[in-house]
Amino acid sequence: VERASELGSALYAELSGFGCAYAGGKEMGTAISQAIQAALDESGLGKADLDLVLWNASYPPDPALISMLQELLNGPPVLSLNDRYGYAESLSCMLHLCAAAELIHCSHSTGNLQQCEKVQGRTIRRVLTLSTSLNGNCYAAIVSQVTP
């Protein structure tokens, strides 16, 4: 944040929380819950503060897994970008961070999120990015709007 200010650059979003967990051959839902809770704890936010979830779900996305995640988080839209870039396992966390920052910026600067009907008409301030791998790794990060 300080460096962006020194350079006179506009800063739209920042990483406000991170968590990770390993399923270790157990139920992946437990690792997902642990990683999300760690990210929420670090950010100081609650589930109700989230506007959107970006998740690298299987492709095509499994409706049962998406429903489970929406129930766990009390309802923010869950969006998988796999149809745009494929299933990237835990590496997708980096792509999701970039996508989250862009969604935050676009929803405030232009209001133009027409390419994504799940977020049209929404103001995006906080995005939970969730990445899982087939071997049981789970990464959760929260990207939050920076207010000038």
> Is a pLDDT exceeding 90 seen at residue 87?
no
The pLDDT confidence band at residue 148, using thresholds 50, 70 and 90, is low
Q: What is the mean pLDDT of residues 56-77?
A: 76
Cis peptide before 77 (omega within 30 of 0): no
The pLDDT confidence band at residue 61, using thresholds 50, 70 and 90, is low
Cβ atoms of 20 and 137 within 8 Å: the answer is: yes
CB contact set of 71 (below 8 Å; sequence gap of 6+): none
Between 42 and 77, residue with greater pLDDT? 42
> Is a pLDDT exceeding 60 seen at residue 54?
yes
Token pair, residue 127, equals: 């995005």
How far apart CA 17 and CA 45 sit, in angstroms, is 9
> Is a pLDDT exceeding 90 seen at residue 34?
yes
CB contact burial 120-145 (16+ within 10 A = b; e otherwise):
eebebbbbbbbbbbeebbbbbbbbbb
How far apart CA 103 and CA 126 sit, in angstroms, is 10
> Is a pLDDT exceeding 60 seen at residue 23?
yes
Mean pLDDT of the chain: 80
Read off the DSSP letter of residue 91: G
Full-model pTM: 0.83
